[in-house]
């Protein structure tokens, strides 16, 4: 089994609806291909962790890299793994943008994400780096 994590910049300002559509498609497809993971959208930045059979994950990553909804896709860690870190998540998602930043909901989101970061027992270095990057992102941007 294999995992990778990357970061990229959104090319537009995706609405909640855009993100819901992206996620519905991703969940359905990932489920069929046995891919699990998590996607975070925060103030114009995506970070995603993917895990599954290596050929499936790499094939998906090739598609994702070509997607015009983001650019500057930067792979920052990958690993061969024994077991999944996100077995129940066909694709988890959390998101926030400048329209929602500063609202009660977004503060709630940040708090929950911080908690999740602290509580997630990462079984491999890629998952650890994903959560560390997520935490850095939400604490360094307002």
Ligand X SMILES: Cc1cc2nc3c(=O)[nH]c(=O)nc-3n(C[C@H](O)[C@H](O)[C@H](O)COP(=O)(O)O)c2cc1C
Find the shortest distance in angstroms from Cβ 53 to ligand X: 14
Of 16 and 115, nearer to ligand X (C-beta) is 16
Q: Could you tell me the CA-to-CA distances from 48 to 22, 44, 103, 126 in Å, in that order?
A: 13, 13, 24, 11
Residue 113 sits in the site that holds ligand X (CB under 6 A): no
Of 14 and 110, nearer to ligand X (C-beta) is 14
- Binding residues for ligand X restricted to 27-66, rule: CB under 6 A: 29-30, 39, 46, 48, 60, 63-64
**Cβ-proximal residues to 87 (8 Å cutoff; 6+ apart), any chain:** 36
> How many amino acids of this chain bind ligand X (CB under 6 A)?
15
Of 68 and 104, nearer to ligand X (C-beta) is 68
Sign of CA dihedral 32, 33, 35, 40: negative
Pattern 69-98, ligand X, x by CB under 6 A:
xx--------------------x-------
For 35, list phi and psi in degrees, rounded to 5: -105, 135
Q: Which stretch binds ligand X (CB under 6 A): 18-26, 75-83, 104-112, 134-142?
A: 18-26
* Bridge-based pairing state of the strands 36-42 and 2-10: unpaired
Tokens 């999740």 sit at which residue? 116
CB atoms within 10 A of CB 40: 22
Residues at the contact surface with ligand X, assessed by CB under 6 A: 22, 25-26, 29-30, 39, 46, 48, 60, 63-64, 67, 69-70, 91
């Amino acid at each position: 089994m294999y995992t990778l994590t990357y970061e990229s910049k959104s090319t537009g300002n995706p609405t909640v609806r855009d993100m819901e559509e992206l996620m519905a498609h991703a969940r359905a497809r990932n489920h069929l291909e046995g891919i699990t993971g998590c996607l975070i959208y925060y103030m114009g930045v995506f970070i995603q962790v993917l895990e599954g059979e290596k050929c499936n994950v790499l094939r998906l990553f090739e598609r994702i890299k070509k997607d015009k909804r983001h650019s500057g896709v930067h792979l920052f860690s990958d690993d061969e793994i024994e077991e999944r870190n996100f077995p129940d998540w066909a694709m988890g998602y959390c998101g926030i943008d400048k329209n929602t930043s500063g609202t009660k909901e977004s503060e709630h989101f940040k708090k929950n994400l911080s908690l999740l970061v602290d509580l997630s027992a990462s079984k491999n270095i890629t998952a650890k780096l994903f959560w560390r990057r997520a935490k850095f992102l939400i604490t360094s941007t307002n």
